Structure 1
Amino acid sequence: MARNSPLSLTLWATDVGALADFLSAVTGAEVVARHPGYAELNHQGCDIEIHADETFRGHPWYEALAREGVARGIGAELTFRVDDVLQRFRAAQRLGAQVIAAPYEFEGRLECQLMGPDGYVLGLWQPWNSATSA
């Protein structure tokens, strides 16, 4: 991947395709490349790589992930600005996401939190003014 954005993310996954499809459907990220054990997405200029666990056995958590089977996303929340929180929230539910917080208004934003594949917690948000928004 040619990293061009000021921030890029690398996520480890048990099922690369499932996580790529989930992120695309829920955040609107564009799938740029997809190969066995690898996917590349872009969300509003942020590059996201997804790697299968076995692609880098030198990863410091490789043995623990293989042995323990713990969620790869534990301890992080990935927050995405989206076009329509309510629509994206419903898409996530259809794909089996665990709802952490249903859409709510907070300080000029509509936001929600969901847990997707491999324990990745996603925060979705959009600017919101309850007086002018539907």
Structure 2
Amino acid sequence: MTREPVLGMVFWATDVGALTDFLVAVAGAELRERHPGYAALRLAGSLIEVHADESFRGHPWFHALAREGVARGIGAELLIPVADVAAAYRKALALGAQTIAPPYEFEGRLECEVMGPDGYVFGLWQPWEFATSG
């Protein structure tokens, strides 16, 4: 029996394939379905759906997204646990992501922030135990 996801989210995308490939390669998402204009993934117990903008013209942001372009991810950051932040960061950059913050240690975590396809910001993190001498 497949458990229902704990949390579900929808990303509206200009290029469903690019965002889907990014989430699989960088965040380790599991691809469940992929069709033109739609993809479904599982990540950390959550369901992520990626929809092409034109799939629902009644969406309240449809006209603003078409007019404004990449501002769709503004105001949100998706935090994703990964096995290796440095490797995920390098892969994100290779896929065209923009650096927001390169890997750094903060409160027991190693993390970085990147802006991926369509302006979505992703915080990639892993537990980190690093003792500094001083």
- Normalised-by-shorter TM-score class: over 0.9
TM-score by length of structure 1 reads 0.93
> 1:1-134 residue pairs with structure 2 within 5 A?
4-131=4-131
The structural deviation recorded for 1:71 is 2.3
Q: Deviations over 1:24-66 (max 9, x none)?
A: 1110001111000000111121110000000001100101111
The structural deviation recorded for 1:68 is 2.3
Contact 1:100–1:115 (CA under 8 A) maintained in structure 2: yes
Structure 1 unaligned residues grouped into runs of 5+:
none
Structure 2 unaligned residues grouped into runs of 5+:
none
1:3–1:13: structure 2 CA closer, same or farther, 3 Å change rule? Answer: farther
The code of the aligned residue for 2:108 comes to: G
The code of the aligned residue for 1:112 comes to: C
- Matched residues, percent identical? 68
The structural deviation recorded for 1:67 is 2.0
Count of residues in correspondence between the two structures: 131
Contact 1:5–1:45 (CA under 8 A) maintained in structure 2: yes
